[in-house]
Amino acid sequence: MKIITLVRHAKSSWGDSSLRDHDRPLNRRGERDAPEMGRRIVNHGIRPSLIITSPAVRARTTAKLIAKEINYPLEFLQGEDSLYLASLDDLLDAVVAQDDGFNNLMVVGHNPGLTDFANFLLPGLTNNLPTAGVVSVQLDQDDWHLHERPKAELLAYDYPKLG
């Protein structure tokens, strides 16, 4: 069995129009929501053995804030350039590339790719994964081969406004 957890970055700031999209930080709400979702991830019993994140500031900061809450070593966070604004195919490629020795993978990234990925795993789950939203799914397989839809069971679907 494999577990994959998708996390959309927390709410970002649009306050500085001189920043490139890649460099936008979290806003105050995002800085509050990301640690809260980390605590909820712990409450859902999700314990990732590997966290990969988009290199965008808002995604990387979200990953770091969640990692702190779940006691995941920050030095083990892996930035994956291909996750920045990734499509479903890009996300699938990033997951397939991970070592099968990791059984519990967390992917921190962006919409619309993450919503597409959630719906690929569980058709019709959501029309929009909200900011700081989390979808965790157990896959009935022993590797990360996902180019064909796996048999999946929802473990958690949570986002800040649900609490």
CATH code assigned at 55: 3.40.50.1240
Which residue's entry shows tokens 């577990």? 3
Which run of H or of E encompasses 92?
A: helix 88-96
Distance CA 21, CA 52 (A): 20
Please name the amino acid found at residue 123.
P
Whole domain around residue 157: which residue ranges?
2-162
- Kindly calculate the radius of gyration of the chain based on its CA atoms and give it in whole angstroms: 14
pLDDT at position 17 is: 87
pLDDT at position 15 is: 84
Strands of the sheet containing 2-8, edge to edge, are: 78-79, 50-53, 104-109, 2-8, 134-139, 152-158
Please name the amino acid found at residue 34.
A
The vertex-106 CA angle with 56 and 151, nearest 5°, equals 130
Overall domain count for the chain: 1
| pLDDT, mean of each 10-residue run, the chain (163 residues) | 98 90 96 98 97 98 98 96 97 97 98 98 97 98 91 97 83
